[in-house]
Amino acid sequence: MAHTSALPDPQGQPLPERLLSGAVLALIGVLLLWELWLAPIRPGGSWLALKALPLCAALPGLFTRRNYTRQWLSLLLPLYVAEGVVRAWSETGRVRAFAAAEIVLALLAFALILGVARRRRDALAGRAGR
């Protein structure tokens, strides 16, 4: 019986798709580390860690390259940027560093979504022009 993986082969994905998945995974990691262990609002962790759940819900769609997932994720990522800006502006110390990481990773993921969409549009236009 052949073993089949639930996830597609990452080598079959274009580099921007892999970078997008990696950026979202890194953002999830930063959010969880930030709110649960390294700089939580309250000792012992905070319910703010739940803000990583929508990103976790996007992972299966990103791994299978679903366009719909990238669309709704592009609407969600600006909220992470906004939260990062507010926290970077209003907090000090380690929190400011985590907020900066959140901003950079969310902007990176957003830019990668735009790049993937442009690449897809150009590929579809190339096929239609034949």
Q: Quick one: pLDDT band at residue 44, thresholds 50, 70, 90?
A: confident
Domain residue ranges of the chain, discontinuous segments joined by +? 14-125
pLDDT of residue 35: 92
Residue scoring higher pLDDT (8 or 106): 106
pLDDT at residue 34 greater than cutoff 60: yes
Whole-number Cα distances in Å, 40 to 54, 97, 98, 119: 19, 13, 11, 39
Q: Please give the backbone phi and psi of residue 39, each rounded to the nearest 5 degrees, phi first.
A: -155, 55
Q: What is the dihedral of CA 7, 9, 10, 12, to 10 degrees?
A: -130
pLDDT (0 to 100) of residue 46: 84
pLDDT band at 65 (very low <50, low <70, confident <90, very high): very high
Q: Rounded CA gap, 58 and 66, in Å?
A: 10
Q: What is the mean pLDDT of residues 83-96?
A: 95
Asked if the model's pLDDT at residue 7 lies above 80, the reply is no
The radius of gyration computed from the CA coordinates of the chain, to the nearest angstrom, equals 17
Q: What is the Cα 42 distance to its own chain's centre? A: 25
Give the pTM. 0.86
Distance CA 103, CA 67 (A): 23
Residue 130 has pLDDT above 80, yes or no: no
Percent of the chain with pLDDT over 70: 89
Between residues 48 and 83, which one has the greater pLDDT?
Answer: 83
CA distance 125 to 54: 32
